[in-house]
Each structure stands twice: as C-alpha cells, then as structure tokens.
Amino acid sequence: MEKINDKYYLGSNKNSYILYEKKITAAGKENYKNVGYISSLEALYSTLIEKEIRTDLTLLNNIARINELIKELKEFTINYIKQKNSEIQ
C-alpha cells in the first residue's frame, strides 16, 4: 500500500486501484478499511474529494482546504508514477 496522506492509502491489483482509509481502534491499533475499488486515478480524486466533503461539510465553504487536498493528490500521483516507472526499469 502507498500512503496518499495521513488518512488514505492506495493499493492496486491488475484491474483497479483499491482505496483504503486508516482507522485507529479503541486499543490504539491501526486498521485499514477498504473504501472501494476504483478504475482510474481521476475517479480516485473524485472519490477522495467527495468523501472528505461528506465527512466535513464545512469544506464546501473552504476552497483553500479543497485546493490543499488536490495538491496532496497531485504530489502523490507524481511520486507514485515515478516509483512505478523506476520499478519497471
């Protein structure tokens, strides 16, 4: 799994990306909940942004936070692609 940010992680199989959400149990253990199977990076972005807005409706009025989330996703994507390219070579 690849870390997107402190809350979300990305896995994959040959057919799709798998989005995981990090949860902390009452005992303090990290647990990863499968949020969904996603077919493209564009759909991944939409899913993450929509999920964050649903979790915190104040984001609808906080363009700066939405821009910050988009920037995090962009940085993750660039690093993810670089890593995958270096694994191929």
Q: Model-level pTM?
A: 0.71
- Calculate mean pLDDT across residues 60-88: 80
Strand partners, 10: 2, 19
- Residue 6's alpha-carbon distances to 10, 22, 39, 69, in angstroms, are 12, 8, 22, 12
Strand partners, 30: 24
Residue 42: the pLDDT is 83
Residue 89: the pLDDT is 67
What digits encode the pLDDT tens for the residues 12-64? 888 899 999 999 999 999 999 999 999 988 888 888 888 877 777 776 677 78
Query: Which domain covers residue 43, as residue numbers?
Result: 2-88
User: Would you say how long the chain is, in residues?
Assistant: 89
What is the tally of structural domains in the chain? 1
Residue 55: the pLDDT is 77
